[in-house]
C-alpha cells in the first residue's frame, strides 16, 4: 500500500509523523545554537553518555521490580549530569577539553553496556533507545515531546539575545557583564533535553545527525540567525516526514532512514552551494 494511503488509516504512522514534527521544533532551534557555537562534539558526547542512565535505570527497574521506573528518566538524569560536567570542563580546562570529553563519552557508553548486560531477561527496548523506533511512539511520548518543546521555547524566548551573544562572541558577552558560565551551562542543559527528545525518534547513535544536519544545511543558505532557525525546523520536519515515508515503502529501520535522508540532503546542499560559488557570473 502506498505511504499516503496507509497514512490515512494507519494509527502508528500518524503518531510517528506527529512525533517527527514535534521533535523538529526543539532540534531545529537548539541545533542552530549547537552549530553556530561549534559544540557538535560536545553534543555528541552528551548523546552517547546517556546510555549510562538508560542502562542503570533499566537494570534497577528489572532487578527490583519497579515497572514505573522508565529508562527515559535515567536518560534525563544522565543527559543533564553529563552536560553540566562537560560544561564545567569546557570553562575550566580548555587545554584538555577534547580528551576529557571523549573520556566522558566512552565512559558513559561503557557503564551503560555493563548495566544492560547485568539486567535480567531480554532487553528489546534497548534497541529502540539505541537506534530509535518512531513507529512505537505512544500518546504519552507525544505529550512528553510537546512539553519539552514548550520548555525549550520558554527558555529560548527568555534568553534568546543572551544566547546569541554567547554563541557569536563570548568575549563580548564577558564585556557586557553577562553570566557566561550560567548561560553556557543552561545552553548545554537545553541541548541535553533535546537529545533525550530525539532518542524517541532516531535513537542515541543517530540523534546527533538530526540535531546538527538540518541546522548546518540552513547555515549554508542564510546568514540571518532567526532565518537559520526557521529553515532548520522546516528541514528537520521534512527529513523526518520523508524518512518515515521511505522507511515504510522500503521496509527499512525508521531511525536510520531519517538519518540517511538528512545526510543525503546535506551532501546535496554542499554540491549546490559549491556549484553556485564556482559558476561564472
Q: Residue 204: helix, strand or coil by DSSP? A: helix
- Domain residues for the domain of 225 are 3-271
Residue 281 pLDDT level (bands cut at 50, 70, 90): low
Residue 266: pLDDT over 70: yes
Give CA separation, 60 vs 46, 47, 55, 57, 121, in Å: 22, 21, 9, 5, 13
38 is a domain residue: yes
80 is a domain residue: yes
The cell for 73 is 528518566
253 is a domain residue: yes
Residue 180: pLDDT over 80: yes
pTM of the model: 0.90
**DSSP-assigned letters across all residues of 125-163:** HHHHHHH--GGG--HHHHHHHHHHHHHHHHHHHHHHHHH
203 is a domain residue: yes
Quick one: average pLDDT of 260-265? 95
Lowest mean pLDDT among 1-10, 20-29, 88-97, 153-162: 88-97
Q: How many domains does the chain have?
A: 1
281 is a domain residue: no
Asked if residues 93 and 100 have their Cβ atoms less than 8 Å apart, the reply is yes
CATH code, domain with 165: 1.10.3470.10
278 is a domain residue: no
Q: What's the pLDDT score for residue 52?
A: 93
Amino acid at each position: 500500500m502506498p505511504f499516503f494511503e496507509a497514512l490515512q488509516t494507519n494509527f502508528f504512522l500518524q503518531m510517528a509523523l506527529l512525533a517527527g514534527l514535534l521533535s523538529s521544533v526543539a532540534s531545529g532551534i537548539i541545533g542552530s545554537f549547537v552549530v553556530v557555537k561549534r559544540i557538535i562534539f560536545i553534543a555528541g558526547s552528551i548523546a552517547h553518555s546517556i546510555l549510562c542512565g538508560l542502562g542503570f535505570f533499566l537494570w534497577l527497574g528489572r532487578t527490583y521490580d519497579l515497572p514505573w521506573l522508565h529508562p527515559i528518566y535515567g536518560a534525563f538524569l544522565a543527559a543533564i549530569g553529563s552536560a553540566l560536567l562537560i560544561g564545567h570542563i569546557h570553562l575550566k580546562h580548555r587545554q584538555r577539553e577534547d580528551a576529557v570529553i571523549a573520556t566522558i563519552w566512552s565512559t558513559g557508553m561503557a557503564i551503560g553496556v555493563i548495566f544492560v548486560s547485568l539486567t535480567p531477561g531480554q532487553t528489546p527496548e534497548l534497541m529502540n533507545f539505541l537506534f530509535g523506533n518512531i513507529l512505537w511512539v505512544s500518546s504519552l511520548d507525544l505529550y512528553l515531546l510537546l512539553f519539552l518543546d514548550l520548555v525549550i521555547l520558554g527558555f529560548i524566548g527568555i534568553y534568546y539575545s543572551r544566547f546569541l551573544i554567547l554563541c557569536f562572541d563570548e568575549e563580548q558577552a564577558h564585556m557586557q557583564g553577562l553570566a557566561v558560565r550560567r548561560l553556557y551551562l543552561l545552553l548545554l542543559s537545553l541541548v541535553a533535553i533535546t537529545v533525550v527528545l530525539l532518542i524517541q525518534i532516531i535513537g542515541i547513535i543517530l540523534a546527533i545527525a538530526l540535531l546538527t544536519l538540518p541546522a548546518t544545511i540552513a547555515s549554508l543558505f542564510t546568514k540571518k540567525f532567526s532565518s537559520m532557525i526557521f529553515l532548520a525546523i522546516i528541514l528537520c520536519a521534512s527529513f523526518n516526514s520523508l524518512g518515515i515515508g521511505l522507511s515504510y515503502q522500503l521496509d527499512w529501520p525508521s531511525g536510520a532512514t531519517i538519518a540517511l535522508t538528512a545526510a543525503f540532503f546535506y551532501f546535496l546542499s554542499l554540491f549546490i552551494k559549491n556549484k553556485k560559488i564556482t559558476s561564472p557570473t
